[in-house]
């Protein structure tokens, strides 16, 4: 799975406005989240959970609805 999360990072970086938005991937450890990577500029604004499963969470700052849909589609498609 480690290779796949960096493929997802590269795909997201190509699709969102990295100067405006920030996407953060975290790995779950019980009740805590461990930072893995981020794409974009940190804004220190309101952070929104846009995807989560039993192992990972994706958070976003300053993201549009269209960018959110793109990211969810990227996460759901197989990594090849």
Find the domain containing 22 and state its range: 2-76
For residue 78, the model assigns a pLDDT of: 72
Question: In 3-state terms, what secondary structure has residue 50?
Answer: strand
In this prediction, residue 67 has a pLDDT band, given cuts at 50, 70 and 90, of very high
Q: Note the pLDDT tens digit of each residue in 46-59.
A: 899 999 988 999 99
Cβ contacts of residue 29 below 8 Å, gap of 6+?
none
Task: Look at the chain and report how many structural domains it folds into.
Answer: 1
26 neighbors 33 (Cβ within 8 angstroms): yes
In which band, very low, low, confident or very high, does the pLDDT at 60 lie, cut at 50, 70 and 90?
very high
The pLDDT tens digits of the residues spanning 26-47 come to 999 888 989 999 999 888 888 9
């Amino acid at each position: 799975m480690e290779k796949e999360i960096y493929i997802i990072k590269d795909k997201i970086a190509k699709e969102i406005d990295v100067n405006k938005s920030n996407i953060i991937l975290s790995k779950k450890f019980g009740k805590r989240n461990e930072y893995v990577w981020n794409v974009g500029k940190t804004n220190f604004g309101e952070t929104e959970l846009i995807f989560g499963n039993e192992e990972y969470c994706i958070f976003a700052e300053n993201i549009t609805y269209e960018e959110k849909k793109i990211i969810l589609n990227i996460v759901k498609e197989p990594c090849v």
